Amino acid sequence: MVLLQTFLKAFRFVELTQGPGMRVFQITDKREQGFTLMEMMVVIAALAIMAAIAIPSFMSMLPGLRLNGAARQVMTDLMAARMKAVKENNEVRVFFNSPGTNQYQILDDDDNDGTADTGEVFTTKNIQDEYHDVTFSATTNPIFYPRGTAYGTTVTVTNTSGSRDVKVAITGRVKIQ
Ligand SMILES: [Ca+2]
Ligand SMILES: [Ca+2]
């Protein structure tokens, strides 16, 4: 009986002709009409379970992603400073935690005197513009020389997930460790 009811629910019966002693039905699968409410509920429940599993683990990954992103940003800017020193044929200096905490300034030091003079181009970045929980410290402020070499440093970026070191070697090479 239950089986019969299930069968009747699952299919649509359309009477096509009606003659003496003969009735013809077209039987079609109801699912061709779309999803049933039950199917929708099963799909929604499955998605809710997957989201409940995936979202917390994704959220726990975010600090690590931000830390790596911040380290890459510092590395990219230091590499660009090195290339600029070569291209401009003058020293380029980077000042960390200047003018404020979490900021760094990149100076195109045309006259190689270590200070920003009138007409020299200065760029200021704040690491927390994109990576709000990341802070950094530097052993010293690096200098990039026109020949591609450098006065090296180690910049350590930190947040709740840990820390990464961005190292500038005296050869001028910049890498994340
Ligand atoms: Ca200068
Ligand atoms: Ca210059």
Q: Are residues 79 and 107 in the same domain?
A: yes
What spacing in Å lies between the alpha carbon of 111 and ligand 2's midpoint?
8
Q: Are residues 84 and 46 in the same domain?
A: no
Q: Are residues 102 and 172 in the same domain?
A: yes
Check: CB of residue 123 under 8 Å from CB of residue 105. yes
**Position 109 pLDDT exceeds 60:** yes
- Among all bound ligands, the one having the nearest atom to the CA of 116 is 1
In sequence order, what E strands does 46-161 have? 91-96, 103-109, 122-126, 135-138, 143-144, 150-151, 153-159
Q: Are residues 51 and 94 in the same domain?
A: no
**What's the pLDDT score for residue 9?**
67
**What's the pLDDT score for residue 32?**
60
The whole domain housing 7 covers: 2-55
**Position 164 pLDDT exceeds 60:** yes
**Position 12 pLDDT exceeds 80:** no
**What's the pLDDT score for residue 14?**
65
Cβ atoms within 10 Å of 31's Cβ, excluding its own: 12
Mean pLDDT for the stretch of residues 92-96: 98
Residue of 5 and 110 predicted with greater confidence: 110
What spacing in Å lies between the alpha carbon of 108 and ligand 2's midpoint?
5
What's the sign of the alpha-carbon dihedral 38, 40, 44, 46?
positive
Beta-bridge mates of residue 166: 155, 176
What spacing in Å lies between the alpha carbon of 81 and ligand 2's midpoint?
11
Query: Which domain CATH number covers 111?
Result: 3.55.40.10
Rounded CA-CA distance 71/54 in Å is 26
Q: Are residues 70 and 26 in the same domain?
A: no
Residue 60 lies in a domain: no
What spacing in Å lies between the alpha carbon of 85 and ligand 1's midpoint?
13
Residue 97 lies in a domain: yes
Torsion of CA 137, 126, 107, 89, to 10 degrees: 90
What spacing in Å lies between the alpha carbon of 55 and ligand 1's midpoint?
50
Mean pLDDT check: name the lowest of 6-10, 63-67, 87-91.
Answer: 6-10
- Among all bound ligands, the one having the nearest atom to the CA of 114 is 1
Residue of 173 and 60 predicted with greater confidence: 173
Strand order in the sheet with 91-96: 122-126, 103-109, 91-96, 143-144, 150-151
Longest CA–CA span in the chain (Å) reads 109
What spacing in Å lies between the alpha carbon of 146 and ligand 2's midpoint?
10
